[in-house]
Amino acid sequence: MEPLLAVLNLIGTAAFAISGALTAIRKGMDLLGVLILGMVTAVGGGVFRDLVLGQIPPDAFTDPLYGIVSALTAFVVFLVLYFRLASFRSVNGPLFQRVLLISDTIGLAVFSVVGVQAGFDLHEGSRWFLCLFLGTITGVGGGVLRDLLAGDRPYIFYKHIYACASMAGALLCTVLWGILGETPSMLLGAAAVVLIRLLAIRFELNLPRIPLEEREK
Amino acid sequence: MEPLLAVLNLIGTAAFAISGALTAIRKGMDLLGVLILGMVTAVGGGVFRDLVLGQIPPDAFTDPLYGIVSALTAFVVFLVLYFRLASFRSVNGPLFQRVLLISDTIGLAVFSVVGVQAGFDLHEGSRWFLCLFLGTITGVGGGVLRDLLAGDRPYIFYKHIYACASMAGALLCTVLWGILGETPSMLLGAAAVVLIRLLAIRFELNLPRIPLEEREK
Amino acid sequence: MEPLLAVLNLIGTAAFAISGALTAIRKGMDLLGVLILGMVTAVGGGVFRDLVLGQIPPDAFTDPLYGIVSALTAFVVFLVLYFRLASFRSVNGPLFQRVLLISDTIGLAVFSVVGVQAGFDLHEGSRWFLCLFLGTITGVGGGVLRDLLAGDRPYIFYKHIYACASMAGALLCTVLWGILGETPSMLLGAAAVVLIRLLAIRFELNLPRIPLEEREK
């Protein structure tokens, strides 16, 4: 299913590049900072996955495609906000936040199942644990890197639905793989990630945490 | 000495999972954040060591054992603090701090010598520098990752005794390896880490630093 | 051109070790923190490059030379500031800042072309994209790691000239490689990095960024 994988990879790359670029703009980085954070967010999860799998050099370093797509995407984002700022009213306004959230969710969904695919590709379905792990890491890796580099508290630890959704989608994809085959599993897994995340936000679902006044910030 | 290595790995994994989970709770992360930070702290040093050694995919990704042990440990920590908070009085109180310190010290001690072992395992004792480096990295890696992800200043740079103790233990283990053999070297090395760290805290030993009012925080 | 490469590597290692040590001192780290941040800054970019290239274990872990040179350099920096503080007037004063800037620039310049060399070394000039990427990563990697570990906002995203200069030098080196050969390409590429950075600082050149009052810090 080569074409599907290529299309998913491009969608995920562009989506994460948007989320990285918007984060960079929110932090006051300059043009090059916006490009770099867009690229790092887009390829970060994949590079880590490739290192773990022994796919060396990682795809992102030998195939310029993903680097170019993510840099161009981030550049367009910069231009849009630089010249037509009015449409966003203000950086960090509601529209800005919504685009950031949606692009981040799409990137998370796509890369979660792309990671599962990489696991099956290598080990012929024998290692479900590896597939699940790879899916989650590929999915959340770029975002964690983005948050770390931007000096934010990583989403993954506070917006629980983030990692939860990635894991659920990767698990669904892994389980369905042997039953429905590659394409339906990946599409359903990605859809599950988007659905879970949006439902959680809509209904403000939260995992428990330990609430304490004495807790240090 | 397979059984010893397995036992040490499990002890180190559980201890670091506790320290990661407590750090996550102190930072107000939710349940999944607590599980993930526990797992990352527990397997982080080992994953980095495996990447450096070319052990790909790293053990932690193919063998579910360590992931499951660390997630379960972190979950138990969460439950204990969630339901019987009284015994800790307050998050970040003295008991909380003591458990955090002790679990962190045990993890540091165990992984410092496990890292040395991995070096000897691969290169038959010829590269003492590699062994020493691997020991320190495996020992401190999980903690540095924990602090970075939690937004803390990494312990390793401020609580000097931290890295000092790991290096001393790894060095002792490396030196003794050819004389006493594997098991005694690892046990003595780990004991040295614990001893140095506890003595340093007890007597408030400190390495010199440059004290300046003008210093930027 | 082995000797040139060795000399460049040593210069870059010492320069980045100085910048790491000064950053650690500015952050109030203790002696061991200064040594470790000096070492990490000096070898960080190279370790990441080696991981990406499959040069495992990375050179820095098997050849003690660079670890020792960087630790010694950082130690000398610590001694100079500890005992003859007067010559710097104050940590973070103008002289301090200038030494930090210059050492950082030299490290950036040297490692940018060393990274390009590693790419050509492996793949016989066929992959210009890989060479450019490797140059930039090797150049900026140590500094990004330094800033992350010290809790600073990574230079690379805000002082645009930083990554810009590294990329320009790596690109120049890559382009000239086939025409002028190894040595002149590397020297000219490194010179370009230094020149661009110093000119940018002198004339306060800046890349555009999106200026907004509503922007969140």
pLDDT averaged per 10 residues, chain A (length 217): 82 93 88 91 89 78 85 93 67 78 91 89 67 88 90 78 89 90 92 92 79 51
Determine which of B152, B212, B213 to mutate to test the interface with C (most C C-beta atoms within 10 Å).
Answer: B212
* Per-residue pLDDT reduced to its tens digit, B177-202: 888 888 999 999 999 999 999 898 88
Q: How far is CA B70 from CA B15, B205, C205, in A?
A: 9, 32, 50
- Cβ contact (<8 Å) for A64 and C214? no
Q: Give the pLDDT confidence score for residue B72 in this predicted structure.
A: 96
Q: Which of A29, A61, A92 sits opposite C133 (nearest CB)?
A: A61
Q: How far apart are CA A209 and CA C214, in angstroms?
A: 31
Q: How far apart are CA A212 and CA A206, in angstroms?
A: 17
- Cβ contact (<8 Å) for C216 and A26? yes
**CA angle at B162 for the pair C55 and B88, rounded to the nearest 5°:** 125
Q: What is the pTM of this model?
A: 0.83
Contact by Cβ (8 Å): B156, B140 = yes
**CA pseudo-torsion sign A106, A112, A117, A118:** positive
This complex has an ipTM of 0.78
Contact by Cβ (8 Å): A36, C156 = yes
How far B203 CA sits from the closest chain A CA (Å)? Answer: 27
Q: Which of A26, A62, A85 sits opposite C127 (nearest CB)?
A: A62
How far B37 CA sits from the closest chain A CA (Å)? Answer: 8
Residues of A in contact with C154 (CB under 8 A): 149
Own/partner contacts of C47-50, CB < 8 Å, gap of 24 or more, are C47/B52, C48/C137, C48/C138, C48/C141, C49/C115, C49/C118, C49/C134, C49/C137, C49/C138, C49/C141
Nearest to A183 by CA among A58, A47, A24, A1: A1
Q: Give the pLDDT confidence score for residue B124 in this predicted structure.
A: 56
Contact by Cβ (8 Å): C209, C157 = no
How far A89 CA sits from the closest chain B CA (Å)? Answer: 31
- Cβ contact (<8 Å) for C214 and A25? no
* Per-residue pLDDT reduced to its tens digit, C153-192: 887 777 767 888 999 999 999 999 888 888 999 999 999 9
Q: How far apart are CA A30 and CA B11, in angstroms?
A: 47
**Stretch B74-93: mean pLDDT:** 76
**Stretch B95-111: mean pLDDT:** 89
Q: How far is CA C119 from the centre of its chain?
A: 17
Contact by Cβ (8 Å): C128, C120 = no
3-state SS class at B63: coil
- Cβ contact (<8 Å) for B25 and A153? no
Residues of B in contact with C69 (CB under 8 A): none
Determine which of C204, C209, C215 to mutate to test the interface with A (most A C-beta atoms within 10 Å).
Answer: C209
Q: How far apart are CA A37 and CA A28, in angstroms?
A: 12
Q: How far apart are CA A66 and CA A11, in angstroms?
A: 10
Which residues make beta-bridge pairs with C30? B209
List the subunits that have 3+ CB pairs under 8 angstroms with C: A, B
Whether residue C215 has pLDDT greater than 50: no
Q: Which of C30, C78, C91 sits opposite B158 (nearest CB)?
A: C30
List the subunits that have 3+ CB pairs under 8 angstroms with A: B, C
How many C-beta atoms surround the C-beta of residue C199 within 10 A? 12
